[in-house]
A and B are shown apart, each in its own frame.
Chain A
Amino acid sequence: MSLTPAEVRNVAQLARLDLTDAELTAMTRQLGSILDYVARLQQLNLDGVEPLAHALEVHNVFRDDEPAPSLPVAEALANAPDRRTRGEGEQFYAVPAVLDTEA
């Protein structure tokens, strides 16, 4: 096993996921097997092989700096778990107070 439960707990914390002990065990096993699989690539001899930055052979795809319509506020906020209206109809997503110490 290439991953420890402590490492998985740390990654879950970074992703703001709260895992039960059972989930932690399952995730450690599943993520570990993915890493083990990928680790086999490390055994390949890559001498003289250029690192690949992107799977596509395409580059320089741009758009012009031209405005396009944005979503109406109501639509933009449609999926928000909570929202707040302030002042003259200013609409915001509302989220639990964020403490900087925890970020």
Chain B
Amino acid sequence: MADLPYRIVIGLEVHVQLLTKTKLFCGCATQFGLPPNTATCPVCIGLPGALPVMNRRAFELALRAAQALNCHLADFTKWDRKNYYYPDLPKNYQISQYDLPFSRNGWLEIETADGAKRVRIIRAHLEEDAGKMLHDETGAGRDSLVDLNRAGTPLLEIVSEPDLSTPEEAKAYLEEIRLLLRETGVSDCEMQEGSLRCDANINLHIPQPDGTVAATPIVEVKNLNSFRGVERSMKYEADRQYEAFQRDGRRLAPGEKETAGWDEARGVTVVQRRKEEAADYRYFPEPDLVPVVVDAAWRERVRAETGELPAAQRVRLARDYGLSDYDIGVLTQQGRATVAYFEDAAKRCGDAKAASNWVTNRVLASLKEHKQEIGDFPLTADRLAGLIAEQKASGLNKQAAEAVYNRMLETGETAKMAIAHLGIKAVDAGALEEIVRRVIAANPKAVAEYKKGKTAAAQSFMGAVMRETKGAAKADVVQKLIAEELQKL
């Protein structure tokens, strides 16, 4: 990106729905896809006199997420009312956190083209979601429909510093958040179902001929609901802002921010409105909820429950197994269960590189093909380790090993049993030489061609030997033997 005539500045506000059974302040279900308006009660539709009570699980998941994001957990936290009027917000205020969020000052490391980069996190706070609006798409201006099932669902809002400097980094940051929150069981982060949503703030810093740097007006692109959408919208918006600046020279004015939507189908951002100033929300402390105090013992419990995070896992896989960055990336991206499967197989067979190759190539492909989770995978880690051990002991070549793998997967047999059923027999060096001699003797035509200088003819011997040995011979060894025999002729 060094050749761009500007620097891109992106900060993300990510909203994730927490994995609770019930809403943040009432016992209504949070399950996705229920019939409209069947999961509401006086609390979440704001009937007079109804009082909220905080869901303990939601608060604990929020603590865990903040811990995973390296945030400082506050000793004392409270909730506030954010006042605004919109039909999806039945109380006319959202219970959120203003000046005393439960966590702040964290960071998340992402992989970029220039290596690892630490993205600072300003804060993470716990708030309730609004309902869902269905607007009339015909343009005829008909009524909008409101479904309040989602109103009151627990949301974690994670606000980053504007540390992201390319659309790719924005995407990588969001992917890392998803991995982290899935790994820690905080959220399923299903973008399709809206349990991971993202708003992106973006502007450009453009060096001027006089040595100063001009900043373009900040635009907040709302409701990005796919990783591709984040990357594409940031690319589009950076180009648009640069063009706009060259046309009108407009610069960032203090406190000013525009809001835009992302039109996925047309691939464009659409500027919607000037954002209401923070003061317009008239925040004030929520009198219906009491504050929460988090002591050292609680923080320690959260730390213990969070488990190993992907960043620490990457370091450990490199140190303990000597895997390549690429393999580590593929494994950790799959999550803890897959990493555990790999480690189990690697320890049992004593060859981490081979275990990693099998897992990242064949096993992941099989899981995808059969739409299975690693936990349900019939070819267990110790079976895979058995296959790797056989492969090393008997010199099975790649094709033969694949055949054994497929049979193990189909039948549930061990590697030894599968090899026996496939009729693959270990061939010792003497026997192999014998086979090579026999194959060459049986193909005088190919030998004649070889002697005429057609070295490709040697390949037909190779195939014949492999057929004879049912693949239980290593290609390089066979090749060498064939070459030696042909020399003797």
Interface residues of A, Cβ cutoff 8 Å to B: 11, 14-16, 53-56, 58-71, 73, 76-77, 79, 82, 84, 86, 89-98, 100-103
Expressed in whole angstroms, the Cα–Cα distance for A89 and B58 within the complex equals 32
Contacts known (A95-B146, A97-B141); A63 close to B56, Cβ less than 8 A: yes
A76: which of B45, B55, B133, B276 is its contact (CB, 8 Å)?
B45
B322 at the interface (CB under 8 A from A): no
- A97 touching B287, Cβ below 8 Å: no
B244 at the interface (CB under 8 A from A): no
Which B residues between 5 and 41 are near A, CB-CB below 8 angstroms? 20-22, 26-29, 35-41
Tell me the total A-B contact number using a CB cutoff of 8 A.
142
Expressed in whole angstroms, the Cα–Cα distance for A102 and B431 within the complex equals 85
- A68 touching B273, Cβ below 8 Å: no
Interface size class of B (residues with CB under 8 A): 35 or more
* Cross-chain pairs A/B with CB under 8 angstroms, 18 sampled: A14-B276, A14-B282, A15-B83, A54-B285, A54-B290, A55-B287, A59-B291, A62-B53, A63-B56, A67-B28, A70-B40, A76-B37, A76-B45, A92-B36, A94-B143, A97-B136, A100-B272, A103-B86
Q: Which of B45, B261, B285, B287: most chain A Cβ within 10 A?
A: B45
- Interface of B, secondary structure class, is loop
**Chain A residues within 8 Å of B273, by CB:** 100-103
Specify the chain A residue showing the minimal Cβ separation from B19.
A65
Q: Which of B85, B145, B261, B272: most chain A Cβ within 10 A?
A: B145
- Interface of A, secondary structure class, is loop
- A56 touching B290, Cβ below 8 Å: yes
A61: which of B29, B285, B290 is its contact (CB, 8 Å)?
B290
Interface residues of B, Cβ cutoff 8 Å to A: 20-22, 26-29, 35-42, 45, 47, 53-59, 76, 78, 83-87, 92, 100, 133-136, 141-148, 261, 272-273, 276, 280, 282, 285, 287, 289-293
Specify the chain A residue showing the minimal Cβ separation from B85.
A16
Expressed in whole angstroms, the Cα–Cα distance for A65 and B92 within the complex equals 25
Specify the chain B residue showing the minimal Cβ separation from A63.
B53
Q: Shortest distance in angstroms between A53's beta carbon and chain B's nearest beta carbon?
A: 5
Contacts known (A55-B287, A70-B38, A101-B272); A65 close to B134, Cβ less than 8 A: no
- A67 touching B285, Cβ below 8 Å: no
- B290 touching A65, Cβ below 8 Å: no
Specify the chain B residue showing the minimal Cβ separation from A76.
B40
Specify the chain A residue showing the minimal Cβ separation from B34.
A70
- B145 touching A14, Cβ below 8 Å: no
- A59 touching B146, Cβ below 8 Å: no
Specify the chain B residue showing the minimal Cβ separation from A62.
B56
B21: which of A61, A66, A91 is its contact (CB, 8 Å)?
A66
Specify the chain A residue showing the minimal Cβ separation from B292.
A60
Expressed in whole angstroms, the Cα–Cα distance for A71 and B47 within the complex equals 12
